[in-house]
Amino acid sequence: MEENNIASAGNFIEKIIDEDIKNNINNGRIVTRFPPEPNGYLHIGHAKSICLNFGLAEKYNGTCHLRFDDTNPAKEEMEYIRSIKEDIKWLGFDWKKHEYYASDYFDKLYEIAVKLIKEGKAYVDSLGPEEIREYRGTLTSPGKNSPDRDRSVEENLDLFEKMKNGEFEDGKYLLRAKIDMSSPNLNMRDPALYRIKRMSHHRTGDNWCIYPMYDFTHPLSDAFEEITHSVCTLEFEDHRPLYNWSVDESGVPSKPRQIEFARLNLNYTIMSKRKLLTLVEKGYVSGWDDPRMPTISGIRRRGYTPESLRDFASRIGVAKSNSTVDFALLEHCLREDLNVKAKRVMAVLDPLKVIITNYPEGKTEMLEADNNPEDESMGKREIPFSRKIYIEKDDFMENPPKKYFRLSPGKEIRLKHAYYVTCTDVIKDPDTEEIIEVHCTYDPESRGGWTEDGRKVRGTSHWVSAAHAFEADVRLYSHLFTSENPEEATGNFLDDIAQDSLEVLKGCKLEPSLLKAVPGESFQFLRKGYFCADSVYSNPGAPVFNRTVSMRDTWAKLQKAAAKKM
Ligand code: ATP
Ligand code: MG
């Protein structure tokens, strides 16, 4: 019964694993891996893969390896390794002692290559890249054998050894698998196994002048580590026959089972490390951790929580066909999490001075505010109130239309946690006619924001006391791209970059408790959205805030509208 329950729950990958367990494949052992190439920072798509692989290991009491597929010395750096580890930990996963590097297998891979040569299953080819392309054929026409294909085993061994010893310049020779130049699968048309690259590797230094290709290294690394289920994205489906060939011919007993799933695509977002690197290198963003970047470090700095990402990953699930997920869903998951976690505070982003004329000069009183009405255990704090305060400019209108419930001449509103106030006067700059100050009176009987006579006011504004507030920069972000599918329309993602995705608000007035905000700490600025103290620009006692996400939940709205239609 229990077994049935497990089998009927879960996604298609879990169903495959359940089946394998039932058939006692690998004696029920489950080992997955997350195999990044350390050539960039991780992005939200990787987060999906991390949640999936580590999640499977957790669910089945198995193990998940972290393996760096570091076969390309030209593009890989220690900095990327550091950041990848930091990001996975931040997401809440632990590879424990299982940290591996494909480069640790270079000796073993070399031995396997030699074995393949000896068995006549690999040869050294002198064709250049142009010719290789020409000989490969196309999807509709078969390829041609290279003139070097029948080189003798002795000669191949000799040349391969010389390649290894650095006797040839880059590109002079390739080691290729001898499979089938007429295979309908282009990956099987004598793919390259090793290339000459006389370049230092970030881990093996100058030990090697030849490096194994990804398609040879990856499946064998999985096999060396006795990975049971090698989960990867759909584009590797066509590589599976080559992976199986490599493992079968290598003589390594372990046979990892490859399962492909659809990669995550998000609208308004690019998720290719190469393109993200371009944004960094060309200065479109301030770095990999720019809060507009879809990198894990970028959205962390922006104020996203690991819980919201994990929730997002589980809601989108895994599928067999590619689709694009609405960014609004990610934001929805974030709001749901921050709603219960973030302290409610008051911050005035575009200040308008208000004088409460019947409030004593020089007086300050402390008013009580709950930190989060969703969670009493988050306690209360005191906020100072005085004669001169700030409210948002757009919370006041001199000549309001009907149904305007905020402050306007003669109207009464509530100041959150404070008093009812009524506007009595508007003071303007005599030259520019700009409103510079609004005068109000307050009702001393309305302390805390309610009155015994039960009189109702429609509008509530947030505010800060002018004498106690401090000034800070607040940084607002919007999508980096103007198009839902960057590149689709223009052919070049750089042409779709939004010009105004960062707006820095200067001189915002924040309640004094925010002075103690620590970098990364999240708050709800009442009515304005969720914000967090920036981890790069903030200084002790001088925080700078990022808007993480606005209050408007377009996803929830869409869901409601859809439910109504049904
Ligand atoms: P990119 O195309 O961004 O450079 P990649 O696939 O080359 O990504 P890797 O470092 O090879 O990057 O990826 C590590 C793992 O993350 C792989 O198993 C890959 O399938 C997975 N992955 C990468 N992008 C996504 C995505 N958008 N959705 C889900 N999984 C992804
Ligand atoms: Mg890759």
DSSP per residue, 191-224: -EEEEE----BTTTBTS-SEEE-HHHHHHHHHHH
* Ligand index nearest the alpha carbon of residue 51: 1
Selected catalytic residue, list 37, 76, 412, 511: 37
Separation of CA 66 and ligand 1 centre (Å): 14
Residue 22 has pLDDT above 80, yes or no: yes
Q: Give, for ligand 1, the residue of 32, 37, 49, 259 to mutate: max count of ligand atoms closer than 8 Å to Cβ.
A: 49
Of ligand 1's atoms, which has the minimum distance to the CA of residue 37? 10
48 CA closest ligand 1 atom index: 29
- The CA-atom distances, in angstroms, between 449 and each of 375, 440, 442, 444, 511 are 20, 15, 11, 10, 18
CA atoms within 13 A of residue 26's CA, in its CB half-sphere: 21
pLDDT of amino acid 558: 84
| Token digits of residue 257 | 């089972």
Alpha-helical (H) ranges within 95-232 are: 106-118, 129-136, 153-164, 214-224
pLDDT band at 17 (very low <50, low <70, confident <90, very high): very high
217 touches ligand 1 (CB under 6 Å): no
| Over residues 551-559, mean pLDDT | 88
> Quick check: CB of 45 below 6 Å from ligand 1?
yes
Mean pLDDT of 460-480: 98
Contacts of residue 400, Cβ cutoff 8 Å, sequence gap at least 6: 406, 408, 411
| Torsion sign across C-alpha atoms 510, 511, 515, 519 | negative
Give, using CA atoms, the residue closest to atom 29 of ligand 1. Answer: 263
**Residue 48 in contact with ligand 1 by CB distance below 6 A:** yes
- Going by C-alpha positions, the residue among 196, 185, 195 that lies closest to residue 245 is 185
pLDDT at 9 over 80: no
**Percentage with pLDDT > 70 across the chain:** 98
Residue 273 Cβ contacting ligand 1 at under 6 Å: yes
Burial class (CB in 10 A: 0-12, 13-18, 19+), 2: exposed
H/E segment holding residue 298: helix 296-302
Contact between residue 301 and residue 536 where contact means Cβ atoms under 8 Å apart = yes
Separation of CA 234 and ligand 1 centre (Å): 10
How many A from CA of 53 to the centre of ligand 1?
12
> For residue 124, what are its two tokens?
């050294």
Report CA(187)–ligand 1 centroid distance (Å): 19
> What is the SS3 assignment for 171?
coil
Confirm whether 263 is a catalytic residue.
yes
CA distance 185 to 244: 13
The pLDDT confidence band at residue 409, using thresholds 50, 70 and 90, is: very high
263 lines ligand 1 (CB under 6 A): yes
CA distances from 7 to 52, 64, 77, 313 (A): 17, 21, 42, 21
CA distance 285 to 276: 9
Give Cβ neighbours of residue 559 (< 8 Å, ≥ 6 apart): none
Give the pLDDT mean for 83-88: 98
Residue 1 has what pLDDT? 31
Query: What pLDDT is recorded for position 560?
Result: 86
Query: E strand or H helix at 329, and its extent?
Result: helix 327-341
Asked about 273 being catalytic, the answer comes back as yes
For residues 302-311, give the mean pLDDT: 98
pLDDT of residue 310: 98
Taking CA atoms only, the protein residue closest to ligand 1 atom 26 is: 45
Separation CA 308–CA 267 (nearest Å): 18
Burial of 17 (0-12, 13-18, 19+ CB in 10 A): buried
Q: Is the beta carbon of 271 within 6 A of some atom in ligand 1? A: yes
pLDDT above 90: percentage of residues in the chain? 93
Query: From the candidates 257, 263, 388, 416, which is the catalytic residue?
Result: 263
pLDDT at 83 over 60: yes
Amino acid identity, position 346: M
**pLDDT tens digit sequence for 105-135:** 999 999 999 999 999 999 999 999 999 999 9
Is any ligand 1 atom within 6 A of the Cβ of residue 36?
Answer: yes
Determine the average pLDDT of the residues in 386-410. Answer: 97
Catalogue all structural domains in the chain, each as residue range(s) with its CATH number. 12-266 (3.40.50.620), 347-469 (2.40.240.10), 475-566 (2.40.240.10)
Q: What is the pLDDT of residue 256?
A: 97
What are the structure tokens assigned to 328, written together?
């609004």
Q: Angle at CA 20, nearest 5°, toward 18 and 26? A: 125
Rounded distance from Cα 233 to ligand 2 centre (Å)? 10
Ligand 2 centroid to residue 14 C-alpha, Å: 24
Pairing state between β 257-261 and 229-233: parallel
Residue at token pair 């980096």: 480
Amino acid identity of residue 220, one-letter, is: L
State the pLDDT at residue 45. Answer: 97
pLDDT band at 490 (very low <50, low <70, confident <90, very high): confident
Q: Where are the alpha helices (DSSP H) in 356-429?
A: none
Nearest bound ligand to the CA of residue 46:
1
Q: Please, what is the average pLDDT of the chain?
A: 95
Which ligand 1 atom is the nearest neighbour of the CA of 272? 3
Among candidate residues 41, 128, 142, 158, the one with its CA nearest the CA of residue 88: 41
Query: Which pLDDT does position 5 carry in this prediction?
Result: 35
pLDDT exceeds 50 at position 55: yes
Output the CA–CA distances (angstroms, integers) from residue 425 to 351, 388, 409, 449, in the order listed: 17, 14, 7, 22
Nearest to 137 by CA among 77, 59, 190: 190
Band of pLDDT at residue 191, cut at 50, 70 and 90: very high
pLDDT band at 234 (very low <50, low <70, confident <90, very high): very high
Q: How far is the CA of 398 from the centre of ligand 1 (A)?
A: 55
Please tell me whether residue 414 adopts helix, strand or coil conformation.
Answer: strand
pLDDT-based confidence at 489, cuts 50/70/90? confident
Query: What number is the average pLDDT over the span 427-443?
Result: 97
Quote the CA–CA distance of 436 and 492 in Å, as a whole number. Answer: 47
- What span, in angstroms and rounded, lies between the C-alpha atoms of 162 and 37? 28
